[in-house]
Amino acid sequence: MIQTVTVEKEFSGNRVDKFLSEQFPDLSRSYIQKLIKDGHVTANGKIVKANYKLNALDTLALDKPELQEPDIVPENIPIDILYEDEDILIVNKPKGMVVHPSAGHYSGTLVNALMYHCKDQLSGINGIMRPGIVHRIDMDTTGSLLVCKNDFVHQDLAEQLKEHSIQRIYHAIVHGVIKEDEGTIDAPIGRHPIERKKMSVNYKNGKHAVTHYKVIERFKNYTYIKCQLETGRTHQIRVHMAHIRHPLLGDAVYGPAKCPFKLQGQTLHAKTLGIVHPRTHEYIEVDAPLPDYFISLLNKLKQTS
């Protein structure tokens, strides 16, 4: 697949690999450099090197080879179902489970489990690697996740997500004691300029992102909060809380590398999910119970406060 972009005057003099990594945030800089090395990037029809300096009005063409997607095998993996009818499924995703197959994770994912549970009754809008998936949560985030069984409900719920009308409330434990009882973080999020696998608050190239938070309980060095998403950017809560210097407990990516507790990733749980059912137009809301590790951690914090 060939994608083209015209270089504006303000980017004149920039390296082509840096420019393309900013233009295509879903592609890592190392992957873009490999495409350049393999001759898949041209400027005005001529193959360029990674250190090529851009000129205003250059026409860049990036030829991304189509990757053959592997067959996804249904697997008899237990699913904790919070709600199900003929159109939708809301599951309680456990910690450590990847939502859909990707490089290095072609089995043991939620999609493998869904294909076994739902057979061929999953929406196909997002392709063969993401059947039924209308939104995602991170591997180490637990809680409620919405699954679509057909394209009709998928299109409707995708529109609800786009319009920010789906109710999504997360519970989290963060470093530090938050003084105010509630607050709003309005800060755009984009790909980190250097560490391409991370996101960051990016006022230049980031997308609009808003998180509302409210304190549930304060401990000696930590705070238990709930966060309501107004938008749904990648790693939004993790990035926003780190931005106000209250990173999530256990989040080694956006917070301290060392954690005083033995945790597998960030302490974040998708607690409440509310939607308007596309077919019945009734409001449906489910609550995913806090996982055992989360409850145990809260008890430890109460004892030491």
Q: What is the CATH number of the domain that holds 18?
A: 3.10.290.10
282 within a domain of the structure (yes/no): no
Q: Residue 194 is part of which domain span?
A: 169-270+294-304
For residue 138, indicate whether it is catalytic. yes
> Domain containing 143 — which CATH number?
3.30.2350.10
Look up the pTM and report it.
0.79
Q: Of 100, 132, 162, which closes a domain? A: 162
24 within a domain of the structure (yes/no): yes
277 within a domain of the structure (yes/no): no
**Same domain flag for 158 and 102:** yes
- Choose, from 17, 58, 87, 138, the residue flagged as catalytic: 138
* Interatomic CA distance for residues 238 and 241, integer angstroms: 6
Give 207's DSSP letter.
B
**Same domain flag for 18 and 32:** yes
**Same domain flag for 180 and 300:** yes
What is the Cβ-side half-sphere exposure of residue 130, based on CA atoms within 13 angstroms?
A: 13
Q: Of 143, 162, 181, which closes a domain? A: 162
- Residue tagged 């030829």 (tokens): 63
* Interatomic CA distance for residues 15 and 227, integer angstroms: 39
**Same domain flag for 119 and 220:** no
**Same domain flag for 79 and 156:** yes
**Same domain flag for 230 and 158:** no
262 within a domain of the structure (yes/no): yes
288 within a domain of the structure (yes/no): no
Q: Of 95, 130, 162, which closes a domain? A: 162
* Interatomic CA distance for residues 105 and 97, integer angstroms: 10
Give 26's DSSP letter.
T
280 within a domain of the structure (yes/no): no
CB atoms within 10 A of CB 255: 20
* Interatomic CA distance for residues 167 and 175, integer angstroms: 25
Q: Which residues contact 282 (CB under 8 A, 6 or more apart)?
A: 276
Tens-of-pLDDT digits for all 305 residues of the chain?
A: 788 999 988 889 999 998 898 888 767 778 889 899 999 999 999 999 989 999 999 999 999 877 566 778 999 999 999 999 999 999 999 999 999 887 667 889 999 999 999 988 999 988 888 999 999 999 999 999 999 999 999 999 999 999 999 999 999 999 999 999 999 999 999 988 878 779 999 998 899 999 999 999 999 999 999 999 999 999 999 999 999 999 999 999 999 988 889 898 999 999 999 999 999 999 999 999 999 999 999 999 999 87
Cα angle: 55, vertex 57, 61; to 5 degrees? 90
**Contact 183/153 with Cβ under 8 angstroms?**
no
Largest separation between any pair of C-alpha atoms in the chain: 67
**Same domain flag for 137 and 218:** no
Q: Which two tokens stand for residue 15?
A: 């390296």
* Interatomic CA distance for residues 96 and 141, integer angstroms: 8
254 within a domain of the structure (yes/no): yes
**Same domain flag for 45 and 12:** yes
152 within a domain of the structure (yes/no): yes
- Residue tagged 């993996």 (tokens): 77
Helix H or strand E segment including 153: helix 151-162
Instruction: State how many domains the chain has.
Output: 3
**Same domain flag for 176 and 156:** no
22 by DSSP, 3-state: which? helix
**Contact 285/274 with Cβ under 8 angstroms?**
yes
Beta bridge partners of 133: 147
Of residues 35, 55, 57, 30, the one with CA closest to residue 47: 35
**Same domain flag for 56 and 74:** no
**Same domain flag for 202 and 300:** yes
**Same domain flag for 41 and 141:** no
